[in-house]
Amino acid sequence: KVMNIWIIMDELTKLKRSGQLSGVWYTAITNTFMLDNLEVWSGQVNRTIEKLHRQQKQENSSRIFVAGSPIIFPNLKLLQLIEQAGMSITADDICSSERIMPGGIIYNDTSEYGMLRAITERYHKACVCPTFADNSRRVNNIISTAKEYNIKGVIFNLLKGCHPYDIEAITIERKLKEHGLKFIKIETDYGKEDSQNILTRLEAFKQTL
């Protein structure tokens, strides 16, 4: 069951990369994984994937990467505002989204390359939560993903009071800017009172991409 879910997650991520699945819906789907029966969830998501494959890929020059604090349903405010501002969430390293099940070994490809890739992903995609030790792997993953998928900027989500991510943002911002990536930190909470202010900042950020 778990191997099948890893495969489904991988397929969902590819659809998000191609623009066939929005970042808001991607996160909503991955969050429901924590709430539903595994077989029911797998069946429904597979049907969704089949429908998405029939849709045309959406090209968007304003591709961004979302990092930072966890985004948990139903608090999808920041993701909704990002897409409302006209940007496409191509990738993330949020532990409630793309990294909700890190480190799975998908061995459907039994060639030497396939098995070596599976083992590599097992160790590379493990937990990259902020720590007070060296965490260069986290930054390297953002940079390599940005280069591979033509991502121009990083939006760092910071929940108020989430001090480990706040401290980490300083280092991440410096290193990402050294590699030519635009960076913006959005500090917010679960309320919607600041939505218009955030939207204005995101629209201005888009113009820099």
- pLDDT number for residue 133: 63
Q: Would the pLDDT of 150 be above 90?
A: yes
CA trace torsion 27, 29, 35, 36 (10° rounding) = -170
Residue-wise pLDDT for 27-60, tens only, equals 999 998 888 888 999 999 999 999 998 887 777 7
Range of the domain at 136: 2-206
How many domains would you assign to the chain?
1
pTM, full prediction? 0.89
**Domain at 157, CATH number:** 3.40.50.11900
More confident residue, 32 or 197: 197
CA trace torsion 114, 118, 124, 127 (10° rounding) = 160
